Amino acid sequence: MPTATQVLDFDYVIVGAGSAGCVMANRLSADPAVRVCLVEGGGDDRSARIQVPAGTITLYKSPKYSYNFESAPQTRLNGRRLHCPRGKMLGGSSSMNSMIYIRGMPADYDRWAELGCEGWSYADVLPFFRRSERNLLGHDTRVHGESGELCVDQPRDPNPLSHRFIDAAKRIGLPHNTDFNSGDAFGAGIYDVTQKDAHRLSSYRAFVHPVLSRPNLTLFTDTRALSLDIADQTARGVFVEREGQVVLLRAHREVVLSAGAIGSPHLLMVSGIGDEAQLRAAGIALRHHLPGVGRNLQDHLDGLVTVRSSSAQTLGFSRRSLPSVLGAPGAYWLKKKGWLTTNYVEAGGFARTRYAGDGDPDVQFHFVPGYRSHRGRLFEFGHGYAIHTCVLRPKSIGRILLTDDGQRAPLIDYNFLEREEDARVLIEGIKLARAILAGPEFEAIRGKEMLPGAQVQSDDALFDYVRAYAATVFHPSGTCKMGVDDASVVDPRLRVRGLRGLRVADASIMPLLVSGNTNAPSIMIGEKAAQMMLEDAAQTHSNRATKHETNRATLAA
């Protein structure tokens, strides 16, 4: 263990100021008698690149704001390494994502419950979604919240192409869906977003920034978690590096890991918690054998259809778009309109391939009213439009390991296409995306399909395309799996199995990946975790009081 030069005492220490961690910091510190420390490895979020919606595209490869992880070479994707950005600032990935508010489908959570995760069915988790949400769209209050901190709105000024997409989707049988979170996600529509007054509303801005004045809430930024302090099978605190010094943040009640599906298992492993053989190979002394740590990695595999168009109606830089580009700052700051309001994936939807039958949709679309580079660049001059298609319930399972180069950095192996049916579903989804773009709604702006390309038509050719170009939509999950079997890392109350005083609460606990974007579910997980922690603390207090009264009665007798 590191040697600390300073010890600071708290009741709860939360590692990671992301989607889930910020919620817990708010709920736990609502009791002024409870001391809460929230630790973030990145810096502050005071940048227009973060707060203005269109700035999101500048964050994904930023060395300042992103942990720019790369995967291990993917054997079935032609040996390619995939980029995996994770937020490195207050708000975590909720400060760099596309702000889409999608909960997943009710059956996702019912499947969790069927796996033994008692208390995690859709009926169980719905109140926690509602608790956080402040729906500004007049949606059904039976499933939506009205008084939470997280504002859910729609983009202020969607590009006209987003509506073309919705109309074209109707022609292939996808109805206009005005609320993907109603319980039925099937169809196409404008996505709800986590924004307030046309600004990004990250989990930090929603839950922590408004309560920073609480004297019992301590927030540390630019503070790197080094390892957990474990003694007698109990988490006592967290060793961190802060301002060049090693500090022990001691937790008198609990330590909670909310560092995400990469960060949380990594911190467990470098602390000696994980598979014994792997830890010994990495030169780490075993403190607790828990073989499920880092396993069960799941993510949404994504395929792109991208079209070059000469229409300046699409987002893009060209001489013809120069007036709208130059006018964008004024339109945004004066009217909250124009290009800077876009999150680039304003519209999308959920569809069934032939493999889904009459069941839940098995693919999701993210429509981009601008050109997505056929060369993998974040930016290209010119115009166009694109559809991302992702596999909602992948069967291929990967894992997080430790590098063997002495650095002990996380090694991310998605293991994509281990199960060939994932490729089949994606190919069918790409065909549906092409059918949408082939509609007459796009006739006036039709251009050249750059990817997959007109020559790529057969299933075999599309399979080759998937191997050469498929990527991820940045939804890693499952690596600290919740459950009741031997492969589980946490129990249904999110307590790390075999240890006391330690929980995990973030997307890593998902036993199965949800069918959609993961920010809203992660916030729900934070809400539910906080509730369970408060319940457990109250029970402990009650037990102590009962024991005290029993002792008094015994002495009196």
Query: What is the CATH number for 22?
Result: 3.50.50.60
233 and 122 fall within a common domain: yes
The domain that contains 339 carries what CATH number?
A: 3.30.410.40
Q: What is the dihedral of CA 80, 294, 280, 499, to 10 degrees?
A: 170
Is residue 91 within 8 A of residue 338, CB to CB? The reply is: no
Within-domain flag for 120: yes
Q: DSSP assignment, residue 193?
A: B
Angle between helical axes of 122-132 and 519-556 (0-180°, round to 10): 100
- pTM of the full predicted structure? 0.96
Q: Is 139 a catalytic residue?
A: no
Within-domain flag for 380: yes
214 and 269 fall within a common domain: yes
* DSSP element (H, E) containing 401: strand 398-402
10 and 131 fall within a common domain: yes
143 and 273 fall within a common domain: yes
Within-domain flag for 397: no
Looking at residue 153, its pLDDT comes to 97
19 and 34 fall within a common domain: yes
CA 274 to chain CA centroid, nearest Å: 23
435 and 485 fall within a common domain: no
Within-domain flag for 195: no
What are the structure tokens assigned to 216, written together?
């019992």
Q: DSSP assignment, residue 5?
A: S
Residues of the domain holding 436: 156-190+301-391+417-469
Amino acid (one-letter) located at 452: P
284 vs 92: CA distance, rounded Å: 28
70 and 143 fall within a common domain: yes
Strand arrangement of the beta sheet that strand 295-297 belongs to: 295-297, 398-402, 410-413
- Non-local CB neighbours of 466 within 8 Å, separated by 6+ positions: 77, 303, 417, 423, 426, 427, 430
288 and 316 fall within a common domain: no
Within-domain flag for 387: yes
528 vs 109: CA distance, rounded Å: 13
Within-domain flag for 305: yes
Residue with tokens 């750059």: 450
Looking at residue 554, its pLDDT comes to 65
Within-domain flag for 66: yes
321 and 426 fall within a common domain: yes
297 vs 489: CA distance, rounded Å: 13
Walk along the chain (557 residues) and give the pLDDT tens digit of each residue.
788 899 999 999 999 999 999 999 999 999 999 999 999 999 999 999 999 999 999 999 999 999 999 999 999 999 999 999 999 999 999 999 999 999 999 999 999 999 999 999 999 999 999 999 999 999 999 999 999 999 999 999 999 999 999 999 999 999 999 999 999 999 999 999 999 999 999 999 999 999 999 999 999 999 999 999 999 999 999 999 999 999 999 999 999 999 999 999 999 999 999 999 999 999 999 999 999 999 999 999 999 999 999 998 888 888 888 888 889 999 999 999 999 999 999 999 999 999 999 999 999 999 999 998 888 777 788 999 999 999 999 999 999 999 987 789 999 999 999 999 999 999 999 999 999 999 999 999 999 999 999 999 999 999 999 999 999 999 999 999 999 999 999 999 999 999 999 999 999 999 999 999 999 999 999 999 999 999 999 887 667 766 666 666 666 66
What are the structure tokens assigned to 34, written together?
């409870």
**3-state SS assignment for residue 323:** helix
Within-domain flag for 215: yes
Query: Around Cβ 134, how many Cβ atoms within 10 Å?
Result: 17
Which whole-number Å values give the CA distances from 273 to 239, 287, 289, 496, 505, in the listed order? 15, 6, 6, 10, 17
Q: How many residues does the chain have?
A: 557
Q: Which of 469, 491, 508 is the last residue of a domain?
A: 469
266 and 175 fall within a common domain: no
Identified catalytic residue from 139, 199, 374, 475 = 475
Query: Around Cβ 302, how many Cβ atoms within 10 Å?
Result: 21
Looking at residue 373, its pLDDT comes to 85
Q: DSSP assignment, residue 81?
A: P
99 and 15 fall within a common domain: yes
The structural domain count of the chain equals 2
What are the structure tokens assigned to 517, written together?
């974007």
